[in-house]
Amino acid sequence: MAEAETPVAPVKPEPVRVYRHRLPARIWHWVNAVTLLILLMSGLMIFNAHPRLYWGEYGANFDRAWLVIGSTPDSGYLRIGDYRVDTTGVLGRWTDAQGAEKTWAFPGWATIPTSYSLADGRRWHLLFAWVLSIGLTLYMVWTLVGGHLRKDLHIRRAEWSPRHIWHDAKEHARLRFPRGEAAARYGILQKLSYIGVIFVLLPLMIATGLTMSPGMNAAWPWLLDVFGGRQSARSIHFIAAWALILFFLVHIAMVLLAGPVNEIRSMITGWFRLPPEREERA
Amino acid sequence: MNSIVLPRRQLIARAGGLVAAAGALPLLSGCDAINDAPAVRKILSMGEEMNRASQRALIDRNALAREFSRADLSPYFRPNGTRLPAGAAYAAHAASGFADWRVKVTGLVARPLSLSMADIRAMPQRIQITRHDCVEGWSAIGQWTGPQLRDILAGAGVRDSARYIVFRCADRLGDTLYYESCDMVDALHPQTIMAWALNGKILPIANGAPLRLRIERQLGYKHAKYVNAIEAVASLDQIGAGKGGYWEDRIDYEWYAGI
């Protein structure tokens, strides 16, 4: 046995580690993760108080709503325009943890608190709106001053080419992610998503939120003109929230696919291990 | 194909882990314990303080809520809260067209008043078409007519020591009379009126007849209906449960409802 030839171990290269996320980005990421979850769940509670959406300046029960989550004596439904879908068990009519049937729009597991309280939902929402606003402002300043925007998020001219975007989209659809050096940089779709969230969606959430405030309407009446009225602002607030949920779902799917341990570790410690280059198949 | 299948399988496995984690979601009901903890409630109430302080700093004392044209009116102005106050006394007032209704102006004033609806209508009137925003999320646009509260307070000679105005109402919710309050910034605001007409007609009972408050830069529950007394006070501590309003006392709606 001792004479046996030692098997040739395949050469396993040391993983290359790069410092990918600086401290402000990491802190903001996790504060935001908690903040957005609280804002979403308390926001769904606030929606439950009046589960109808309108366009324009006004809108109440006797006006035409473009979106309604409602209930009949034995079902729950979602209506968007003239399209109606049965949502019994999830939206409009569902059973709570104690087995009691409820007819609030969003179910207890999705709201803060779990049982109906508009007052408490508002308290959570209107406090954490401050956390979001202050955090986003600081982060925006940091991306501009600290070079994050210029170095990491700036989209170069070549990246704007439809061919490049199409190529990146195809690679994502095939679940083929960049490896080696390329994995240290953001792809065009990543850049567009992050820029879209940081500079479009989150500011839009804050601005439409403020447009619903009668006090802010007196201070900045132009907000009403920008969004086409208070009820339009409420609708846009709701739609943008779902755009953020969509971003979250894709974000989580990508993290799971790209290697959750490495990805999550890099967002905690900052250090990211570059996935090795693909070996060519014979 | 292999290179595609593998990640998909991985995705399914990893997503499975996520679903399992989501199965722990009912544990979130632990969130309700957090929600109810006194220390947490104290922190949560900081939001109201921040909103009040920042809005008071940002919004000019006399900045107006947007006023609309008659073309913008809601086809039907949704009433909310009490739609018909209970009791024989209110019914008798309603039957007589509120001819004997009195609005007392008391508290920290030099000349306490007892105003009839005729007195109220004889004062200089303000007509405004504004948007009413319920805390629940809906809005309705209506035209309101009535004297400015600041004229009523000036008539009574409100003292400098008054810091809040309390509005007493004739409608009872449960066993308690509704009431609301505001600070002097909103009390003296030009659009703060005691309205007796909606859309050019005598105020319907469902909307607060014969007299209701309009406080246009705050949410609907501040707009007290069926008002029969206006009281100037130095502190809200001794009124109701001390939080400045019926819903504030009961379920923790914000006293400052500018957002």
pLDDT digits (tens, 9 = 90+) for A210-268: 999 999 999 999 999 999 999 999 999 999 999 999 999 999 999 999 899 999 999 99
Q: Cβ contact (<8 Å) for B217 and A126?
A: no
B108 or A152, higher pLDDT = B108
Q: What is the pLDDT of residues B145-176, one digit of tens each?
A: 999 999 999 999 999 999 999 999 999 998 89
Distance CA B242, CA A49 (A): 26
Percent of chain B predicted with pLDDT > 70:
88
Q: What is the pLDDT of residues B188-225, one digit of tens each?
A: 999 999 999 999 999 999 999 999 999 999 999 999 99
User: How many CA atoms within 13 Å lie on the side-chain side of A276?
Assistant: 8
Assigned token pair, A203: 């500011």
pLDDT on residue A242? 98
User: Residue with structure tokens 């109201």?
Assistant: B48
What is the enclosing helix (H) or strand (E) of B133?
strand B126-133
Q: Cβ contact (<8 Å) for A219 and B63?
A: yes
Mutate which of A123, A249, A250, A254 to disrupt the B interface (most B C-beta within 10 Å)?
Answer: A123
Mutate which of A217, A257, A277 to disrupt the B interface (most B C-beta within 10 Å)?
Answer: A217
Contacts of B68 in chain A (CB under 8 A): 57
pLDDT on residue B33? 86
When pLDDT is cut at 50, 70 and 90, the band that residue B31 belongs to is: confident
Strands (E), chain A: 17-19, 52-53, 67-72, 75-80, 83-86, 94-95, 101-102, 271-273
pLDDT on residue A9? 61
Name the DSSP class of A144: H
User: Residue with structure tokens 């989580």?
Assistant: A252
Average pLDDT, integer, range A144-154: 88
Residue A15 pLDDT > 90, yes or no?
no
Residue B1 pLDDT > 90, yes or no?
no
Contacts of A254 in chain B (CB under 8 A): none
At A257 the three-state DSSP class reads helix
When pLDDT is cut at 50, 70 and 90, the band that residue A147 belongs to is: confident
| B3 reaches A (C-beta below 8 A) | yes
Q: Cβ contact (<8 Å) for B28 and A113?
A: no
Residue B240 pLDDT > 90, yes or no?
yes
Q: Cβ contact (<8 Å) for A114 and B31?
A: yes
pLDDT on residue B176? 94
Burial of B139 per CB tally in 10 Å (0-12, 13-18, 19+)? buried
Task: Walk across the sheet containing B197-198 and list its strands.
Answer: B126-133, B139-146, B197-198, B201-202
Q: Cβ contact (<8 Å) for A62 and B76?
A: yes
> Are the beta carbons of A227 and A220 closer than 8 angstroms?
no
Distance CA A110, CA A87 (A): 15
Count, in order, helices (H) and strands (E) of chain A. 10, 8
The model's pTM is 0.91
| B59 reaches A (C-beta below 8 A) | yes
Residue A166 pLDDT > 70, yes or no?
yes
Distance CA A20, CA B205 (A): 65
At A201 the three-state DSSP class reads helix
pLDDT on residue B246? 97
At B115 the three-state DSSP class reads strand
| A64 reaches B (C-beta below 8 A) | no
CA distance B116 to chain A (A): 31
Q: What is the pLDDT of residues B89-138, one digit of tens each?
A: 999 999 999 999 999 999 999 999 999 999 999 999 999 999 999 999 99
pLDDT on residue B24? 53
* Contacts A–B by Cβ distance under 8 A: 158
Q: What is the dihedral of CA B24, B28, B29, B30, to 10 degrees?
A: 110
Residue A1 pLDDT > 50, yes or no?
no
Q: What is the mean pLDDT of chain B?
A: 92
CA A120, chain centre distance (Å) = 23
pLDDT on residue B12? 64
Assigned token pair, A223: 């907000």
User: Mean pLDDT lowest for which of A13-17, A85-89, B1-5?
Assistant: B1-5
Mutate which of B6, B35, B45, B64 to disrupt the A interface (most A C-beta within 10 Å)?
Answer: B35
Residue B75 pLDDT > 90, yes or no?
yes
**Residue of chain B whose Cα is closest to the Cα of A210:** B259
| A257 reaches B (C-beta below 8 A) | yes
User: Mean pLDDT lowest for which of A200-204, A273-277, B73-77, B236-240?
Assistant: A273-277
CA distance B140 to chain A (A): 5
Buried/exposed A123-153: b ≥16 CB within 10 Å, e otherwise = bbbbbbbebbbebbeebbebbeeeebbeebb
Q: What is the pLDDT of residues A65-118, one digit of tens each?
A: 999 999 999 999 999 999 999 999 999 999 998 899 999 999 999 999 999 999
Assigned token pair, A100: 């009691």
pLDDT on residue B8? 58
Contacts of B35 in chain A (CB under 8 A): 112-113, 120, 124
Mutate which of A35, A42, A58 to disrupt the B interface (most B C-beta within 10 Å)?
Answer: A58
Percent of chain A predicted with pLDDT > 70:
94
Residue A7 pLDDT > 70, yes or no?
no
Contacts of A118 in chain B (CB under 8 A): 135-136
Q: Cβ contact (<8 Å) for A224 and B35?
A: no
At B190 the three-state DSSP class reads coil
Q: Cβ contact (<8 Å) for B72 and A49?
A: no
